[in-house]
Amino acid sequence: MTDYSLYLVTGRELLPHGQDYFNSLEQALQGGVTVVQIREKNTDTGEFLDVALRSKAICDRYHVPLIVNDRVDIALAVQAAGVHLGQTDMPVSIARKLLPQGTIIGVSCNSLQELEQAVIDNADYVGIGSVWSTTTKNLTKPVIGVRGVGELLQSLDGTSIKAVAIGGIKSSNLLRTLHGSVSKTNHALDGVAVVSELMATTRPREVASHLRDILSAFRSSG
Ligand code: TZP
Ligand code: MG
């Protein structure tokens, strides 16, 4: 069973000047990141493959699954644990046919309709966002807000699909994000995904560990 609690989505362009990506990744893992998605938006295939291979080797040492954003071919090439698909990427059903059995498939969702489709497609998890506003991604769809996330989570009642929220999640709003997004039927997030909070820092280990502490506090309070 995959632990989605603290889901790091990489963003090498956000690293502070002089900060090494692989060192940041390793520190974030030491701090308690439970799943890593490698996300490369402006990288050619050769470099993406190289970064993915090296990231996979690091994640393997921490027994943390590596998920590849967008690219089923790169997920296959590096024997990644999974792939993360956006609404305009390869359909889940086709990715499922291409990837080995048991590969994790996640989908980005912003609306009830997208969520219902992800359930029909038998995705393993959904990334719901953006929950807050963010400058990390050029948002083309409305910001959902925590109450909106709660309403969307309710539609997953009775399904086994996992859900993480993404977008603007920081140490400073994590507890509010977790509490505020619990649905009326008590459906809570399985985890939270962060980019800049763990990438745009010289202390990813400490930040990850702090985020884990907040997640634990939330879980022991409910
Ligand atoms: N998808 C929705 S928002 C987002 C992605 C990839 C970016 C989130 O980045 P940050 O820095 O955690 O706000
Ligand atoms: Mg995509």
Q: What is the pLDDT of residues 193-213, one digit of tens each?
A: 999 999 999 999 999 999 999
Question: Phi/psi of residue 111, each to 5°?
Answer: -145, 165
How far apart, in whole angstroms, are the C-alpha atoms of residue 222 and residue 206?
Answer: 25
Question: Phi/psi of residue 106, each to 5°?
Answer: -115, 155
**Å from CA of 220 to ligand 1 middle:** 27
Q: Which of 195, 196, 201 to mutate to test the pocket of ligand 1 (most atoms within 8 A of CB)?
A: 195
The two beta strands, 125-129 and 162-166, are: parallel
Q: Take atom 4 of ligand 1 and give the residue whose Cα is closest.
A: 167
Q: Is 106 helix (H, G, I), strand (E, B) or coil?
A: strand
Q: What's the pLDDT tens digit per position in 129-160? A: 999 999 999 999 999 999 999 999 999 999 99
Q: Which residues in the chain show pLDDT less than 50? A: none
Helix (H) or strand (E) holding 192: strand 191-194
**Å from CA of 168 to ligand 1 middle:** 6
Q: Take atom 11 of ligand 1 and give the residue whose Cα is closest.
A: 196
